Amino acid sequence: MLGWAITFFIVAIIAAVFGFSGIAGAASGIAQILFFVFVVLLVISLVSGALRGNKPNI
């Protein structure tokens, strides 16, 4: 999921450089949503692993 967020971020940067502000804004918004979903899922995964007694493999 982080890979998709980075991909949309790069698309947003390229679109902004070429002047496509609508596409850049949309890609930026999608990248932000995917990043925050990734962070939430990461925290849930770490908390559930800690509750089971497993050490995180970071």
- Going by the DSSP 8-state scheme, the letter that residue 20 receives in this structure is -
Share of the chain above pLDDT 90, in %: 19
Contacts of 27 (CB under 8 A, 6+ apart): 8, 9, 11, 12, 15
User: Would you call 1 helix, strand, or coil by DSSP?
Assistant: coil
pLDDT higher than 70, residue 56: no
Q: How remote is the C-alpha of 34 from its chain's centroid?
A: 4
How many other C-beta atoms lie within 10 A of the C-beta of residue 41? Answer: 12
Under 8 Å between Cβ of 35 and 53: no
Instruction: For residues 25-51, give the mean pLDDT.
Output: 90
Segments making up each domain of the chain, as ranges: 2-52
pLDDT of amino acid 40: 95
pLDDT higher than 90, residue 36: yes
pLDDT higher than 70, residue 42: yes
